[in-house]
A and B are shown apart, each in its own frame.
Chain A
Amino acid sequence: MSDAPETSSELSGNSLLYLDGVTVSFDGFKALNALSLILEPGEMRAVIGPNGAGKTTMMDVITGRTRPDTGRVVFGDDIDLTRLDEPAIARLGIGRKFQRPTVFEPLSVHDNLLLSLAGDRSPRFALWAKETPTERDRLEELLATIRLVDDRDRPAADLSHGQKQWLEIGMLLAQEPRLLLVDEPVAGMSDAETEETAELLREINRTRSVVVVEHDMAFVRALGVKVTVLHEGSVLAEGSIDAIQSDPRVVEVYLGR
């Protein structure tokens, strides 16, 4: 249950995240089937695939919500994620954004961000914690990034849908993650918002690695990054969006037989 020490993968130059032969089955159904995937440090990767391809299960395995039956999930040099639970993995620097924005509604925007700031997560610390000047500066920065400076004292419940999405992104940034997992960030968004979100993800990618799970091909094209196609729990194809879209196997999976 203890936190594994942070190790720097930048020095080794190897992978940031390495999934090797990961299999997860639910009642005989293989949600993931010997899935292998390598993510370089600093990389942004788009993961696509039809419904039931295993995209969400893959996220669940990386963040510790689901334990694989077999296979290895290695973060950085040698941290085995399959032996850690969600809080421990989050503290290692893996942030996750869900499809539906989940913020703490009764708490103010400021408090939502404050609770997300990287730091001690123990009850003992939280009981006596006072907001430090460093924390205050960091909060100011984040509020500016997510354009909620004037809304800092409002309960998150009062924000619009779009503002909640931004607040949640702010909360993820506050965690200072090394890897950000983003689940269908543009579902239900207008074209303008989709474009803005792609821009934001590219900006985040300057300092952090990102994995985006998405249905929207136009959005994936706008990201302009390497694409992994999942099908029936394993990798069907990998490459640029153009290569993927002209791959006959991918076309078959997407257009049906």
Chain B
Amino acid sequence: MLRDKLTIVTLGCILGGALLLAALNLLTPGASAAHVPDFVISLVGKYLCYAILALAIDLVWGYAGILTLGHGAFFALGGYCMGMYMMREIGARGVYANPILPDFMVFIGWKELPWYWQGFNHFWFALPMMMLVPGVLALAFGWFAFRSRVSGVYLSIITQALTYALMLAFFRNDMGFGGNNGMTDFKDIAGIPLNSETSSAGLMVISALVLAAAFLIARGMTRSRFGKVLIAVRDAESRTRFLGYRPESYKLVVWVVSAVIAGIGGALYVPQVGIINPSEFAPGNSIEAVIWVAVGGRGTLTGAILGAVLVNLGKTWLTSALPEVWLFAIGGLFILVTLFLPRGIIGLFAARSATAPAEAQPGAAAAKSAAREIAG
């Protein structure tokens, strides 16, 4: 019952909050006390994209036990696909006024558009690419990793290596993605100018809608029989094999779905921050995103969203108030949560969640069964 209430509260907060903020931004005069300034709208939009990423991570880490330290790679790839589309949308309005080539290609002396940039001038082409590119990479990566039964800390390390390798690759100018500087100076998206008040409120609301949809999909998956098998695989993988399940195929499905969700998050993120560059692949980003999930509560979905928003609120405040403290703060937060709040913030509210990872509550269960043994 509680978890159903939690679903309604989660959806209500995401959609209600986004619509309320958008209304207060667009419908109130700038001088009014109720007016929500534009920077708040774009901040919230950013947080919502982070929440989409956190949700994707919770799906694989919370339910399948795959501790990914490289999910930022899928987020960034979705972002790059969106960036490529918006670069081509600029067209002849760029500094070099080249109708086909983006500015950075003219700058490094390229004469022709590389084959992998073809089609990105169409939104209908770019949109599926934002999901396909991260999805196909995840499929290839997961197929090899899960079939070879790579798991635990080794898997975490290779996910980290994956995002690091992509970062190094995207830094190179001759990759054709703008190198170090990445892509920026976007003008519009699907014909709508990006610098208007309406477009930032619109993107924020779309992010909220996508987050809500991703939440419902993740919730449906984790509550189905599929989700129960995932939990079984997470806690006793070899037992599932002797029941006739192939854990690798379950992991692969949830891994690819998660990568696609992360990619969509990245695609929504880029127009709202106005830039995409290789630093989005930095391993630190992926680790930070795992901390959001841990703080909110792993294996609860709502916790991932809550953690992403709260930690980033803290980050926004702290990096402007005491910028040098931030790294210590997030590191300390992770240690504190691991030690004292193993079930995250959600764990404080929910008395007991049947789907929460077993290792998060060994004390309680062990004490209970010990008490029962003694009582006879």
Contact = CB atoms under 8 A, between A and B. Distances in A.
Question: Are A and B associated in one complex?
Answer: yes
B372 A104 contact: no
16 contacts: A90-B241, A91-B244, A104-B239, A105-B365, A106-B231, A106-B356, A106-B357, A111-B228, A121-B243, A123-B253, A126-B224, A126-B225, A126-B229, A127-B221, A129-B225, A175-B243
A104 B232 contact: yes
A80 interface: no
Interface in B209-264: 221, 224-226, 228-229, 231-232, 235-236, 238-246, 249-250, 253
A175 B244 CA distance: 9
Interface of B: 221, 224-226, 228-229, 231-232, 235-236, 238-246, 249-250, 253, 354-358, 361, 365, 368-369, 372-373
Contacts of B242: 63, 86, 90, 95-96
B232 A123 contact: no
A60 to B, nearest CB: 11
A241 to B, nearest CB: 29
A103 B235 CA distance: 9
A128 B354 CA distance: 21
A131 to B, nearest CB: 8
A6 interface: no
A107 interface: yes
A114 interface: yes
A102 B358 CA distance: 13
B239 A102 contact: yes
B232 A115 contact: yes
A66 interface: no
Nearest to A162: B373
* Most chain A beta carbons < 10 A, residue from B225, B239, B356: B225
Contacts of A129: 224-226
Contacts of A122: 249
Nearest to B364: A157
Contacts of A98: 239
Contacts of A128: 224
A87 B246 contact: yes
A114 B245 contact: no
Contacts of B369: 157-161
* Most chain A beta carbons < 10 A, residue from B229, B250, B372: B229
Contacts of B250: 123, 126
* Most chain B beta carbons < 10 A, residue from A88, A91, A102, A105: A105
A171 interface: yes
Interface in A75-118: 85-88, 90-91, 95-96, 98, 102-108, 111, 114-116
A237 B201 CA distance: 81
A34 B246 CA distance: 31
A114 B354 CA distance: 16
Contacts of B225: 114-115, 126-127, 129
A90 B243 contact: yes
Nearest to A86: B241
B63 to A, nearest CB: 10
Contacts of B355: 106
Contacts of B229: 115, 123, 126
